[in-house]
Every structure is written in structure tokens, then in C-alpha cells.
């Protein structure tokens, strides 16, 4: 068995019966959709054609959402259906980042991931999915693609069919007959608030709420759309009562091509993710700098300095864990990453790297504390210090870079697929760790060797970070349109001010200049960390704002 869908766009009339039947059959809450009908108008008034496209989970043969899920809540059945288990899901939203089709959402009632599951409960009884049964034009076909006698297999064989984003390598099994290029490609037409005939979600950006809840009042009105234009309150359009329905202004299809209806998707990951990248970078960078300097004889053993460094490292590792748990929709289930791990997911691998690194730093801190308290001698600690730092070095390195491989599994965000990202994260950890050393040096005596190492690392890593950013991440052309658009949004669009003024000038140029003045390193370190957060915020958010549907 190999279940799939065929959607005949030539016969679809855009009645939304499939959307309604799906909601009814699966009790889908308001504000989210498992299947929806995208409408695109082409031509110029009054000579207008409206194209409809039913959009949903593609039940890919190579589903990236399954690989990235840390607890096997998203899984692929032997018959090809990509199913989910809400009783297992921890609400990490990684599957939403991995899906190139915006097919997954967070259920506002359960706080867990959900999507079209092919009405598997009906299929198991020998019935067809609800959307197939209800379609008045028989525009939706479902069945076994491997059986040449089925209607769906014959439709695929006899018609010219297309799929969405074949370049992603997911092998989608949702085929379209008469697929219109403008409707098939989510970035083919610019979205503006005035182009929509009506819309149910008006703001995609940070601050629109947490835990997956849809807007229940007017708080989203007046905020920015994905295009950067303001969305006005309905009162300004003659609707004194308000509500969540947006009525477009002027004539429909005033442009040659425009999207008039589509389900809009919110950004899944917000400020905790860039904040976690910074705290993780501080912890890993601080350990790696001190450990490398000590192992190569650049600094001598100093119990008070080593104790403070280990405690600060532990503190930022604790902050990293707290941010990761806080960002879960079901934080009470976070231990499932450990108790039922799905080892292909870099969320799981990263969690165990963090556990190993935290445990080792904890042992190191306990040893230094025991010396400070006089429980053991310095000579006894000396025999353990080098092995601990040596074993911890690869764990610290893994802590710094594992997120690059997690982002690599997020196949719905092309900008994150950069091969430079592991190197870039190492350099950013060096920036963060050395910035923290400068801040520590302003309140305690670190010793000449560690101060010199910190200063040299800070200056060198800032310069290298600038080179990687401008010659690599944003200096080279990108492999896809989505990645190019996200990069443009960072450098010249919504995040340009944050990128240029915040990250580049305040976070790099000014700290570099301050290192050659009498201004305390505390200021340079703080500015560098703020600049790093602003860069991570733009890098994390911008790709999420490029539409995948």
C-alpha cells in the first residue's frame, strides 16, 4: 500500500467543502486548518480568472517532519500515511520548521502538532477520507498509488501531474492535475493586505501570542503583515463591530495576478530560540577558551578563576535548558526527549550532548569548589583537571555546533541550510565566550595569561564573524528563492536596521574600536552579546516569514 492524493485543479470549484468536512470529521479548532483552498486571481478587471488549489499535508515518501521529531510523535505508517500522535507530542514545533509546505500547525486546544492524517481512522475501516467523500466535483482522489487498477493510479498515469516543491527531495504524494504555476509557488505573487478578499489570521510576527492560540480579539489588528504593510482595524473599513474577518479594499484583481485567499501561518519559533543560541554560545565558548588556553599552557591553574568560570558556564547551560523547555507547547513533557528518544533527530542528539557537557562541567565545578573549601588539595585536583578539560572539549564543541545540524533538518527554512553554519556557530561561541571573559575580568583578577587570551580571542573572533557574515552567509548567492528572499529581508528588508545598526555596528564595529581604547572591556562585551542576539533574532525569524504555502 502506498496512499496518496490527486487534486484536479481543472474541476475544483473552490467551494471549501473539503475544508469544512475535514474540520467536522477531525474536530479541528477554529483558527487552524488541515486542508484549505488557496485562491489566486489572474487577469485584470473585468477579465479575471480565479484558480483554486486544495492544500494540505503531502504525505511525503521522504518526510522531513518524521526525521526531526524528537519523540516519534510524527511517524510514517507502512501504508505511506504520515500520522501523528498527540498523546506523545511535546510541542517543540520542529516538525513545522521541517515541513516545506506549511501543512503542520499547533492545535490550540491540546498544544500539540497536528495536520491532515489522511483520515486514517476511516481508511483503516475501508472508507475514504472525508474530503474525498464530500467533494461535489470528484476533484479529490485518494487511494493506493502502487495498485495500477485504482482510480488514483490511473489518473496519475493518464494526466500531466505536478507536485509542490519537488526540489526539496521529500517525494510528495499529493499530485495536482492542472496545477497553476502562480498558485503552486508560494512566493510567485507578493502578498499585500489589500489583495485578500478576506483573511482569518492577520499577523504572522512575534508577539501574536504563545502556546499556539489563535487571535480571539482585535489585538492583532494594526500590526504588520508579512509584506511589511499595516493591517488596519475593520472599523476603518465600515465594520463598527470589529471581528477577525478582513475585507479587501477596491476592486478585486486590480493587479494582473494576486492571491485573494490563503491560510496564513504564524512564526513557530520566537525570541527564546535566538536567546538560547546566545546562552549556549556563552557556555560553550567560555569553556572552550579556558580549556584550550590551559591545555596548551597559555594560562596556569587558578582555583578561584576556574571555579567562577565553571559556575558561570553551568549558569548559562541552565539558562539554555530553561529557554528550550519554556519554548515547548507542552513543557511538562520535556523529559520524553530522554525517555523515548528518536535518534535521527538533532533535537535528541543535542539534548544528550548538553546533558553530557553539563555533567562534565558540574564535576569540574565540584572539584574546584572542593579545593576552594579545603576538602581536597590543589595537587589532587591537578591530576583530574586536565583529563576533565580534555574530555569536555569535544562536548563543548558539540554544544556549540549541534544547532547547525538541527537547522539543517528544518528543510522548510532554506536559509538555515547553509554549509557555513557549523563554522559560524563555533566563531559565534568564541565571540560570546570571550565577551563573557571581558565582563568577568572587569570584576575579578583573571591573571595576565587569561586576559590576553580573552582579548585576542574577542578581537579575532569578531573579525572572523564579520568575514563569514558578509563574504559567506550574505556575500554568496543562495541556492533557492526562499533563501534569497530571507537573506534580502535581513540585509535590506524588515530586519535591516537590526542587522546593520544593531548587529554590525553596535555588536562588532564599536566593540572592536573599544578594545583599542581605555574603555573597560565590560562595555565591549555587553555590546557584542546584544549584537549577537540581534543577529540570531534576524537569522531565526526571517526564514520563518517566507511563505511555504
- Residue among 74, 92, 85, 52 at smallest CA distance from 179: 52
- Which CATH code fits 3-261? 3.30.70.20
pLDDT confidence of residue 193: 60
Q: How far apart are CA 239 and CA 250, in angstroms?
A: 16
Point out the least confidently predicted range of 52-61, 173-182, 424-433, 535-544: 173-182
User: ∠415-417-421 over CA atoms, to 5°?
Assistant: 95
Angle (deg, nearest 10), helices 421-441 and 521-544: 150
The pLDDT, as a whole number, for residue 390 is 94
Rounded to whole angstroms, the Cα distance separating 388 from 291 reads 9
Among 47-56, 100-109, 232-241, 540-549, the least confident range? 232-241
Same fold yes or no, 3-261 and 272-544: no
pLDDT in tens, 404-455: 999 999 999 999 999 999 999 999 999 999 999 999 999 999 999 999 999 9
Residues 388-403, mean pLDDT to the nearest whole number = 96
Q: What is the edge-to-edge ordering of all strands in the sheet holding 140-144?
A: 140-144, 3-8, 174-177, 161-162
**How many CB atoms within 10 Å of residue 24?**
11
Q: What is the mean predicted confidence (pLDDT) over 493-497? A: 94
CATH number assigned to the domain covering 272-544: 1.20.1630.10
Phi, psi (degrees; rounded to nearest 5) at 490: -75, -45
- Interstrand relation of 113-114 and 105-106 (parallel, antiparallel or unpaired): antiparallel
> Quick one: pLDDT at residue 520?
81
Q: Give the residue with greater pLDDT, 259 vs 242.
A: 259
Give yes or no for a contact between 260 and 420, defined as CB atoms under 8 angstroms apart: no
**Between residues 248 and 221, which one has the greater pLDDT?**
248
Task: Provide mean pLDDT across the span 9-26.
Answer: 94
Nearest to 54 by CA among 88, 25, 13, 82: 13
Question: Average pLDDT of 269-285?
Answer: 96
pLDDT tens-digit series, residues 292-341: 999 999 998 899 999 999 999 999 999 999 999 999 999 999 999 999 99
pLDDT band at 231 (very low <50, low <70, confident <90, very high): very low
336 versus 248: which is more confidently predicted?
336
Residue 212, pLDDT score: 38
Alpha-carbon span 391 to 139, nearest angstrom: 61
Cα separation of 55 and 263, whole Å?
Answer: 9
Give me the DSSP letters along 401-416: HHHHHHHHH-TT-GGG
Confidence of residue 265 (pLDDT cuts 50, 70, 90): confident
For CA atoms 491, 495, 500, 505, the dihedral sign is: negative
Going by DSSP bridges, is the β-strand pair 3-8/35-44 parallel, antiparallel, or unpaired? unpaired
Q: For residues 352 and 390, what is the distance between their CA atoms, to the nearest angstrom?
A: 18
Residue 198 predicted with pLDDT over 70: no
Distance, CA of 180 to CA of 8 (rounded, Å): 11
Give me the pLDDT at residue 199, please. 55
Percent of the chain scoring above 70 in pLDDT: 87
CB 434 within 8 A of CB 457: yes
Share of the chain above pLDDT 90, in %: 74
Q: Evaluate the CA torsion angle 148, 84, 207, 334 in order and state its sign.
A: negative
Residue 230 is given by DSSP the state B
Q: What is the pLDDT averaged over residues 527-535?
A: 97
Give 56's strand partners.
35
- The angle at the Cα of 190, spanning 535 to 541, to the nearest 5 degrees, equals 20
Phi-psi region for residue 307, left (φ > 0), alpha (ψ -120 to 50) or beta? alpha
- What distance in Å separates the CA atoms of residue 147 and residue 3, rounded to the nearest whole number? 10
Domain residue spans in the chain?
3-261, 272-544
Number of residues that this document lists for the chain: 549
Is beta strand 3-8 parallel, antiparallel or unpaired with respect to 174-177? Answer: parallel
Higher-confidence position of 164 and 43: 164
The pLDDT of residue 549 is 81
The rounded distance, in Å, linking the Cα atoms of 547 and 549 is 6
**Model confidence band, residue 57 (pLDDT cutoffs 50, 70, 90):** very high
Mean per-residue pLDDT of the chain: 87
For β-strands 82-84 and 113-114, DSSP reports them as unpaired
Amino acid at each position: 500500500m502506498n496512499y496518496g492524493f490527486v487534486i484536479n485543479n481543472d474541476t475544483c470549484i473552490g467551494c471549501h467543502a473539503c475544508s469544512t468536512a475535514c474540520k467536522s470529521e477531525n474536530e479541528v479548532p477554529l483558527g487552524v486548518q488541515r486542508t484549505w483552498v488557496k485562491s489566486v486571481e489572474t487577469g485584470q478587471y473585468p477579465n479575471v480568472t480565479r484558480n483554486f488549489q486544495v492544500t494540505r499535508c503531502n504525505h511525503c515518501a521522504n518526510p522531513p517532519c518524521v526525521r526531526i521529531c524528537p519523540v516519534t510523535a510524527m511517524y510514517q505508517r507502512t501504508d505511506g500515511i504520515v500520522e501523528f500522535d498527540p498523546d506523545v507530542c511535546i510541542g517543540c514545533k520542529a516538525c513545522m520548521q521541517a515541513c516545506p509546505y506549511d501543512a503542520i500547525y499547533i492545535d490550540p486546544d491540546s498544544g500539540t502538532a497536528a495536520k491532515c492524517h489522511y483520515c486514517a481512522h476511516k481508511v483503516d475501516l475501508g472508507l475514504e477520507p472525508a474530503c474525498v467523500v464530500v467533494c461535489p466535483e470528484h476533484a479529490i482522489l485518494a487511494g493506493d498509488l502502487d495498485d495500477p487498477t485504482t482510480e488514483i493510479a490511473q489518473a496519475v498515469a493518464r494526466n500531466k501531474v505536478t507536485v509542490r516543491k519537488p526540489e526539496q527531495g521529500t517525494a510528495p504524494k499529493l499530485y495536482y492535475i492542472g496545477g497553476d504555476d502562480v498558485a503552486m509557488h508560494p512566493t510567485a505573487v507578493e502578498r499585500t493586505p489589500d489583495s485578500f478578499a478576506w483573511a482569518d489570521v492577520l499577523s504572522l510576527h512575534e508577539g501574536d501570542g504563545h502556546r499556539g492560540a489563535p487571535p480571539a480579539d482585535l489585538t492583532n489588528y494594526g500590526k504588520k503583515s508579512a509584506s511589511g504593510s499595516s493591517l488596519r482595524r475593520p472599523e476603518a473599513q465600515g465594520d463598527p463591530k470589529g471581528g477577525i474577518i478582513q475585507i479587501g479594499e477596491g476592486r478585486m484583481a486590480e493587479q494582473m495576478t494576486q492571491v485573494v485567499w490563503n491560510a496564513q501561518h504564524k512564526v513557530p519559533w520566537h525570541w527564546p530560540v535566538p536567546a538560547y543560541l546566545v546562552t549556549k554560545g556563552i557556555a560553550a565558548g567560555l569553556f572552550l577558551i579556558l580549556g584550550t588556553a590551559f591545555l596548551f599552557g597559555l594560562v596556569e591553574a587558578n582555583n578561584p578563576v576556574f571555579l567562577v568560570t565553571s559556575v558561570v558556564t553551568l549558569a548559562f547551560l541552565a539558562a539554555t535548558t530553561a529557554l528550550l523547555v519554556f519554548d515547548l507547547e507542552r513543557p511538562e513533557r520535556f523529559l520524553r526527549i530522554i525517555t523515548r528518544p528518536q535518534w535521527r533527530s538533532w533535537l535528541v542528539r543535542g539534548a544528550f550532548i548538553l546533558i553530557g557537557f553539563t555533567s562534565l562541567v558540574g564535576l569540574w565545578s565540584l572539584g574546584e569548589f572542593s579545593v576552594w573549601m579545603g576538602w581536597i588539595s590543589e595537587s589532587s585536583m591537578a591530576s583530574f583537571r586536565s583529563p576533565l578539560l580534555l574530555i569536555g572539549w569535544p562536548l563543548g564543541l558539540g554544544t556549540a555546533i549541534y544547532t547547525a545540524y538541527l537547522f539543517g533538518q528544518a528543510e522548510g527554512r532554506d536559509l538555515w541550510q547553509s554549509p557555513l553554519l557549523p563554522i559560524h556557530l563555533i566563531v559565534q561561541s568564541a565571540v560570546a565566550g570571550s565577551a563573557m571573559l571581558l565582563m568577568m575580568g572587569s570584576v575579578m583578577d583573571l591573571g595576565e595569561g587569561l586576559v590576553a587570551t580573552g582579548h585576542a580571542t574577542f578581537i579575532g573572533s569578531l573579525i572572523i564573524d564579520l568575514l563569514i557574515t558578509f563574504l559567506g552567509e550574505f556575500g554568496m548567492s543562495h541556492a533557492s528563492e526562499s533563501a534569497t528572499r530571507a537573506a534580502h529581508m535581513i540585509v535590506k528588508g524588515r530586519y535591516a536596521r537590526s542587522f546593520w545598526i544593531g548587529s554590525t555596528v553596535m555588536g562588532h564595529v564599536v566593540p572592536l574600536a573599544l578594545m583599542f581604547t581605555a574603555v573597560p572591556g565590560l562595555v565591549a562585551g555587553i555590546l557584542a552579546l546584544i549584537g549577537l542576539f540581534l543577529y540570531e533574532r534576524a537569522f531565526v525569524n526571517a526564514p520563518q516569514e517566507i511563505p511555504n504555502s
